[in-house]
């Protein structure tokens, strides 16, 4: 039982709380707490100690920052800058690399690492970065005042990275990632896409943004292309390139292929032991010649339009091929000489693709019928000044610009200029023939003559991993490549690099969580759960004390969700 005990010290009476306990069989008083003088006790009773609490989002930024330090990302960037001589001052007499120059207390590598973490957690402009960072513990982790992280700070730091340094920096980082995380590299996936920008047409300071075939249907905007090479397992980006928005995918593949070969060699992989998978948009006679000369094995797709004869031959011969337990697809396999080489060819029918193509064509048909109806009404009212040849050409161009519309919509222009009429109809029989014999067909070719048909199809289906990376980069919340608030080619190159780096960190974090059997199926769900892990600062002010000693500051995590709590040590999230 506790008791109150008075003690005289230098004429003053102090009180303490003690308890009597037996130690070695003898009753001994044990100190529980010092209570101070009677006045101190009275102050505590009259007014309890004050406490202030403030908390920040902690889990996501702490895990990503810890992983970036583990991979030594800032050091790799700064080392390449120093080696390049970019940071050497003319007055410096030393022949060796200089230590990285600091800007607002950060090196270029440290600043770009913070940018990558920001892209992974919350894709903001550089101007809004500090406002977001203030809601997290990122400044505490990096030991930097986030108010200094202005847009000008990041632009100055980004300006220090020459475009030609991005590839060797990425090479060294990826080599470490592959070794540290034991990433299998038997099959590599290549693809390219584009990202629209809001860069004005009048801006002549950059050449990368240009108008081209816009995959997101924003043909009114300039776009930038990004090509990626990923591992089949885990979708780890091994190489990337930023290219002009008006460059066709096949042209980009041709120009990038030597760099891809070099990256594979830099990763100390035997090129003849690897298989690269690429889609039909990257295939051409010239590109296939590059691949054949490289000794890389390949699985690629060909357009159905270029292989009509083969598809017609294969349709009655399609037979089920089991590609996974309980999952089979109709397929036909043969050998065929294509572009001067013997290739194994597989024709398969994907029911999911077939249904999607049917729905897509019907959407185009509905829009075409509306457009034709408006044109027919214009002709009926005599408001059309074009002659028959011009009108027919415009209609044919419209129908050719939409997939298969020219095959399923028939039109006539009876009458004589200028009194023309327009009639049109949907050809159901032609649509049914397309749905039966063409839609859903995929044509694959490979030099893996010894692979099973199922293995060839599975390798091609692995292409979904690189498509998933692009889906992440187009996600508006996490790892988004947009918004792109940069107006020069060099800044755009560095911006894309930081976005790919942000995805790499987030993906590796998710990989580590999956290997720990975490219940998070996606990168986004993991980052969201980590973002809800908050770190609180508790400031307690003692009524019995004055001055600096009156306040005591402690840090602790708020109550944590049961699913994420066991993962925090695995992901390196400190308390």
3-state secondary structure 401-452: CCCCHHHHEEEECCEECCEECCEEEECHHHHHHHHHHCCCEEEEEECCCCCC
Alpha-carbon distances of 69 from 49, 64, 114, 142, rounded to whole Å: 40, 9, 11, 10
Confidence of residue 44 (pLDDT cuts 50, 70, 90): low
**Residue 550's pLDDT is what?**
63
**Residue 93's pLDDT is what?**
43
Q: What is the pLDDT of residues 300-324, one digit of tens each?
A: 999 998 899 999 999 999 999 999 8
Between these two residues, 476 and 209, which has the higher pLDDT value?
A: 209
**Residue 13's pLDDT is what?**
84
CA pair distance 261, 277, nearest whole angstrom = 14
**Residue 89's pLDDT is what?**
39
Greatest mean pLDDT among 51-55, 81-85, 181-185, 209-213 lies in: 181-185
Q: Which of 34-38, 374-378, 386-390, 458-462 has the lowest mean pLDDT?
A: 34-38
One DSSP character per residue, 278-326 reads E-GGG--HHHHHHHHHHT-EEEEEE-GGGGHHHHHHHGGG-EEEEEETT
β-strand partners of 301: 444
Q: Are strands 187-196 and 551-557 parallel, antiparallel or unpaired?
A: unpaired
**Residue 92's pLDDT is what?**
40
Phi, psi angle pair for 82, to nearest 5°: -65, -45
Which H helix or E strand runs over 184? none
**Residue 197's pLDDT is what?**
79
CA pair distance 286, 275, nearest whole angstrom = 19
Task: List b or e across 198-224, with b for residues whose CB sees 16 or more CB atoms inside 10 angstroms.
Answer: ebeeeeeebebbbebebbeeeeebbbb
Confidence of residue 208 (pLDDT cuts 50, 70, 90): confident
Using a pLDDT cut of 70, give the percent of the chain over it. 92
Phi, psi angle pair for 336, to nearest 5°: -155, 145
- CB atoms closer than 10 angstroms to residue 33: 10
**Residue 338's pLDDT is what?**
92
**Residue 298's pLDDT is what?**
94
Q: Using an 8 Å Cβ cutoff, are 555 and 538 in contact? A: yes
Average pLDDT estimate for 114-125: 91
| pLDDT over threshold 50, residue 554 | yes
Q: What is the pLDDT of residues 228-267, one digit of tens each?
A: 999 999 999 999 999 988 888 899 999 999 999 999 989 8
**Residue 537's pLDDT is what?**
86
Using a pLDDT cut of 90, give the percent of the chain over it. 55
Q: Which of 59-63, 392-396, 500-504 has the lowest mean pLDDT?
A: 392-396
Confidence of residue 474 (pLDDT cuts 50, 70, 90): confident
Q: What is the mean pLDDT of the chain?
A: 87
**Residue 551's pLDDT is what?**
73
Between these two residues, 25 and 234, which has the higher pLDDT value?
A: 234
Q: Which of 2-6, 61-65, 332-336, 510-514 has the lowest mean pLDDT?
A: 2-6
The pTM assigned to this predicted structure is: 0.81
Q: Which of 53-62, 241-250, 463-472 has the lowest mean pLDDT?
A: 463-472
**Residue 484's pLDDT is what?**
66
Alpha-carbon distances of 239 from 169, 330, 502, rounded to whole Å: 11, 34, 14
Nearest by Cα to 114 from 153, 81, 88, 79:
153
**Residue 100's pLDDT is what?**
66
Q: Is the dihedral of CA 476, 573, 557, 517 positive or negative?
A: positive
Between these two residues, 552 and 348, which has the higher pLDDT value?
A: 348
| pLDDT over threshold 60, residue 90 | no
Between these two residues, 152 and 101, which has the higher pLDDT value?
A: 152
| pLDDT over threshold 50, residue 143 | yes
| pLDDT over threshold 70, residue 216 | no
Q: Which of 98-112, 298-312, 440-454 has the lowest mean pLDDT?
A: 98-112
Q: How many CA within 13 A on the CB side of residue 185? A: 27
CA pair distance 263, 174, nearest whole angstrom = 10
């Amino acid at each position: 039982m506790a008791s109150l005990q008075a003690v005289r010290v230098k004429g003053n009476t102090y009180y303490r709380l003690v308890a009597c306990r037996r130690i070695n069989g003898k009753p001994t008083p044990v100190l529980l707490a010092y209570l101070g003088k009677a006045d101190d006790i009275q102050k505590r009773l009259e007014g309890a100690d004050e406490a202030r609490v403030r908390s920040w989002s902690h889990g996501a930024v702490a895990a990503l920052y810890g992983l970036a330090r583990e991979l030594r990302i800032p050091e790799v960037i700064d080392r390449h800058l120093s080696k390049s001589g970019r940071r050497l001052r003319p007055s410096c007499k030393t022949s060796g690399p200089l230590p990285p120059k600091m800007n607002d207390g950060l090196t270029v590598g440290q600043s770009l690492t913070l940018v990558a973490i920001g892209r992974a957690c919350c894709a903001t402009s550089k101007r809004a970065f500090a406002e977001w960072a203030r809601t997290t513990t990122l400044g505490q982790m990096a030991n930097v005042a986030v108010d200094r992280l202005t847009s000008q700070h990041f632009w100055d730091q980004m300006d220090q990275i020459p475009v030609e340094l991005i590839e060797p920096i990425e090479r060294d980082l990826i080599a470490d990632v592959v070794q540290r995380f034991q990433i299998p590299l038997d099959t590599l996936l290549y693809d390219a896409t584009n990202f629209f920008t809001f860069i004005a047409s009048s801006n002549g300071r950059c050449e990368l943004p240009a108008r081209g075939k816009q995959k997101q249907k924003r043909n009114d905007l300039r776009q930038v292309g990004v090509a990626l090479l990923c591992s089949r397992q885990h979708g780890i980006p091994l190489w990337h390139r930023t290219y002009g928005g008006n460059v066709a995918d096949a042209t980009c593949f041709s120009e990038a292929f030597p760099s891809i070969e070099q990256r594979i060699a830099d990763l100390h992989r035997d090129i003849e032991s690897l298989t690269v998978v690429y889609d039909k948009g990257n295939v051409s006679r010239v590109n296939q010649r590059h691949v054949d000369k490289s000794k890389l094995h390949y699985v690629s797709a060909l357009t159905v339009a270029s292989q009509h004869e083969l598809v017609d031959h294969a349709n009655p011969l399609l037979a089920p091929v089991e590609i996974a337990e309980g999952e089979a697809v109709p397929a036909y396999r043969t050998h065929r000489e294509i572009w001067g080489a013997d290739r194994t060819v597989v024709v398969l029918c994907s029911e999911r693709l077939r249904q999607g193509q049917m729905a897509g064509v019907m959407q185009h048909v509905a829009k075409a019928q509306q457009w034709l109806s408006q044109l027919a009404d214009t002709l009926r009212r005599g408001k059309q000044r074009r002659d028959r040849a011009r009108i027919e050409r415009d209609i044919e161009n419209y129908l050719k610009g939409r997939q298969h519309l020219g095959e399923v919509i028939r039109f006539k222009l009876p009458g004589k200029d200028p009194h023309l009429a327009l009639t049109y109809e949907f050809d159901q029989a032609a649509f049914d023939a397309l749905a039966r014999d063409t839609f859903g067909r995929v044509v694959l070719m490979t030099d893996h003559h010894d692979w099973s048909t199922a293995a060839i199809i599975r390798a091609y289906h692995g292409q979904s991993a690189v498509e998933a990376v692009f889906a992440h980069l187009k996600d508006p919340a996490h790892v988004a490549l947009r918004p792109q608030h940069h107006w020069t080619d060099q800044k755009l190159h560095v911006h894309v690099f930081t976005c790919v780096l942000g995805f790499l960190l987030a993906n590796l974090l998710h990989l580590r969580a999956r290997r720990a059997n975490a219940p998070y199926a996606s990168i986004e769900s993991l980052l969201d759960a980590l973002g809800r892990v908050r770190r609180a600062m508790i400031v307690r002010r003692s009524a019995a004390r004055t001055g600096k000693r009156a306040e005591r500051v402690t840090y602790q995590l708020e109550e944590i969700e049961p699913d994420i709590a066991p993962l925090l040590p695995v992901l390196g999230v400190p308390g």
